A and B are shown apart, each in its own frame.
Chain A
């Protein structure tokens, strides 16, 4: 008797669990249509210092959109570490959001999956035309010769943030313009007992952004003109070695930073433990950690010699976030309206101010709100000396493979092992072999 009763209880529980599992799941599936015109789901990338801060920034804007159009937007802020996987899973299952943020460097990779709505002339017209956007930002929206897979939302560039007090104490009057100057300044700063420059040695994306710029400064690229990986190009090897040598040989990056991956170097800078930081649009983050705006200065990222510009004088990647629409959204028309709203002049001003980024929309960018000395450096960099990461389908794999190679090299330095041209080349060779066959 007892066994039958137990079996019955088990069976009922299992059936309930089955029903619950079947009920769960994404918001929309199937081919693009306008079946549910009154709702949208939006995956926002984590831009602020925390997910809570992002919700606080975005929710009032989404409410505004609902008031204007009657469309309710369900918001989910996704941490960076999860975002790519979540998008990939949504692509596989077809159960994803209607609108989502993507890191602009992933545009070509995600474009290759065919899951994102292509932004042809007709779609661009719905949001005011392609001409509204800055060229450098459009350069990171998909592979060349194809309709963009996304629309630029926030633009960012790397800059050198420096602590004015530490510089003054070390007798340094202006921020370094070249790497040699930075290394020389580093000696004076270390003499005062402070760390020189922060890095996120275990953060794959950060590693990629920096070695990409160093490669540009050496006149090289990680991919050949026809899109094949070229990681073992001697100039690329030199570039990667120069970056890792900032820790290994020049000792301006503390070995401690080899295991940083959670923005600890930003905290070190905000707390006044370290004199400089290479970061993209860090102002809001620094403020949230209690650092006053006038405590630090912002200068262009150093170059090998001379002044930043194009080619070998490149000193930043074109960083930023794009907004994309899932092709199989049940509310394509609402999704397009939402993209139009988010890229409107008014919203661009509000959102980019909140995130201390630069609007990729020309008219919003010229607004007085983005003319402060801090944003001027970022704007100038984006306009004159930033380059987009390779827009190839294997970009996201490149970020992981080479990002890991640099992480391993930093780990070698931390463990006291020598970093040589050969060891750098070996790591990059291994990374290249892991790339999918083109």
Chain B
């Protein structure tokens, strides 16, 4: 196959959230086309938020994505709180962080075990995996259950949280519930260690491409909520200046907006967070990174899953510490902080499982008059395409099915959340 001609055409990449197609067109050994098409129906969330009372925003925007519902709700609440001058209490901040870890763990475990591990073990999905390695699947389900229970105790349910509201919470877990969750998290450490061991064995493609990595950063903690934007290319921006970082643009083959910063593309997500914030990881997570051979700055996008495993370790440890603090101070029922004013503009930013998420609202007399949401997958799309365009020429001598698998695995490594990026997956070879 000196000068191959073929077309990869994967219609609806599976085991990702939402719809996207990969289209690759190679003629006489030359790459003519290499696109990631987003075929999801446009959702129009920004238009839906416009004209609604501010109190509804977090409930509407959590429906952007069933997997990162807590993340959307949190970013939404922070945007509203900043617009209306609300300072949440320390208890609220701690509870939100703990709740956030529940979602991060749930999403990372789902992605690493159910969506990526089958590729590495050469099976089509988690269902044959359940037959081939039932203990692995049972472990994943156990860990996922605890993550979900953590969210349920704090906000009612993980998919579309109930008790999270502007200025605080409408319901609080009991100390006994927190204690029980804390004990289960401690007991989960052996499952976490087994997860690190499993991913030590998995072989991921060796493909590297330098790019810009961007994540929220705080000096004193591994940041998931608030902070400032920091790039591995240098540069930092306050959250309010997010548009200087994202620079959104549209391409005709996709319903999702794309972004670029200092290069043609940048990456957000677990690998970007690891590259920017590794110094702030919990010591046990740093140890896991060493065991997994993950060192900053890691430039193989397939390693995103490995960075997720490191974050699983971090989130479990940090959740234990947060629970300890809340148990020590004792949870008290507190009514949500009422906004001192009903008009203003605010931007909320969080590191949701797939990367940095922004919500920006303008509120007038208690009603949302303008909204802008920029989701992680939208920011990663341009970078995924750049990876695809750099990867395909290096593997042209492989057969079509191998190329297709490599591309699907690449897209999946980003853990794209397509249903919310429509403001993505099929590989089509031609």
Pair from one complex: no
Could you tell me which A residues sit within 8 Å of B by CB distance? Answer: none
Could you tell me which B residues sit within 8 Å of A by CB distance? Answer: none
